[in-house]
Amino acid sequence: AHSLDGKTVVVTAAAQGIGRASVLAFAAAGATVHATDINEAALAELNGQKGIVTRKLDVLSDDAVKAAFAEIGRVDALFNCAGFVHSGSILEMKDEDLDFAFNLNVRAMIRTIRAVLPGMLERGGGAIINMASVAGAPKGVPNRFAYGVTKAAVIGLTKSIAADYVARGIRCNAICPGTVESPSLESRMRAQGDYEAARAAFISRQPMGRLGTAEEIADLAVYLAGATYTTGQAYNIDGGWSI
Ligand code: NAD
């Protein structure tokens, strides 16, 4: 992977799971990383680590996003990692869940990108990485209507930004993970009642026979932050789920 020495990276949803692993991976690659999340207590565990600055940021708030990026200043790479998984089919879904999913999974990315893009354009370069999922455009997944709709929208958003700014030094790519071990996946498994059965079901849809790790996804985020010849792509990283 490319060195990120001297680069500034902002990560949303950085307190746990893939976001947190990515913060550590970006810092290990030499970047200064602004780790942002609403969970200040969990974020605090990253405090004081080399290259890492933590900051409370609710990506649902326009004002908070504008203020945070104005203070941070130069951003070389932005990793939009925030997202929420709703369960249920179209007939089970509540409208407020769809609104929330669009607001967090899609509009939050639009907010942060609007905040960083003018500066990136002024400096003639920048990398934007958006968290999508194999659930959505790469694959239709049962019981994930609001999630699939919004994660598919992330890929459209990604390609649209890539197309508009490809000649001006901006690269925008999406990451589409399969099933990845994380605190929220743990709670989804626990919420199903029979934890062992839920875990076995998640593993059985991964042809490699195991869940992915947050570190494996973080590797791809670091690659995409430093890569120079790829834009507008949705990268499946899914243990073979989408083969
Ligand atoms: P997670 O779901 O366990 O953690 C999410 C983090 O987001 C938490 O720290 C939470 O505090 C933060 N957050 C929630 N609302 C926020 C807000 N308004 N502003 C800022 N931060 C907020 O982590 P994960 O499972 O690694 O998921 C991270 C991303 O990866 C999500 O977008 C998810 O959809 C996507 N993803 C996860 C998997 C998986 O299997 N874990 C698979 C595909 C895609």
The Å distance, Cα 16 to ligand 1 centre, comes to 8
CB 65 near ligand 1, within 6 Å: no
Q: Which residue is closest in CA terms to ligand 1's atom 8? A: 13
d(CA 4, CA 126): 12
Q: Which of 12, 24, 38, 154 to mutate to test the pocket of ligand 1 (most atoms within 8 A of CB)?
A: 38
* pLDDT given at position 2: 79
Ligand 1 atom 11, closest CA:
39
Q: Is 235 labeled as catalytic in the residue annotation?
A: no
Q: Report which ligand 1 atom has the smallest distance to the Cα of 184.
A: 3
Q: Which of 11, 12, 16 to mutate to test the pocket of ligand 1 (most atoms within 8 A of CB)?
A: 16
Per the CB < 8 A criterion, the answer to whether 134 and 178 are in contact is yes
- What structural domains does the chain harbor? 8-179+213-237 (3.40.50.720)
Measured CA to CA, the distance from residue 37 to residue 35 in angstroms comes to: 7
Q: Which atom of ligand 1 is nearest to the CA of 42?
A: 9
- Is 218 near ligand 1, meaning CB less than 6 Å away? no
β-strand pairing of 126-131 with 170-177: parallel
Residue nearest to atom 36 of ligand 1 (CA): 133
Rounded to the nearest angstrom, the distance between the alpha carbon of 229 and the centre of ligand 1 is 28
In whole angstroms, give the CA distance from residue 148 to residue 154. 10
- Residue in the structure block whose two tokens are 């409370």: 56
* 132-153: pLDDT as tens digits: 999 999 999 999 999 999 999 9
Q: Are 17 and 211 in contact (CB under 8 A)?
A: no
* Burial class (CB within 10 angstroms; exposed 0-12, middle 13-18, buried 19+) of 184: middle
pLDDT beneath 70, residues of the chain: 1
Mind giving me the DSSP string for the chain?
----TT-EEEESS-SSHHHHHHHHHHHHTT-EEEEEES-HHHHGGGTTSTTEEEEE--TT-HHHHHHHHHHH---SEEEE-------B-TTT--HHHHHHHIIIIIIHHHHHHHHHHHHHHHHT-EEEEEE--SBTTTB--TTBHHHHHHHHHHHHHHHHHHHHHGGGTEEEEEEEE-SB--HHHHHHHHHTS-HHHHHHHHHHTSTTSS-B-HHHHHHHHHHHHH-SS--S-EEEESTTTT-
Bridge-based pairing of strands 8-11 and 170-177 is unpaired
Tens-digit pLDDT profile for residues 178-212: 999 999 999 999 999 999 999 999 999 999 999 99
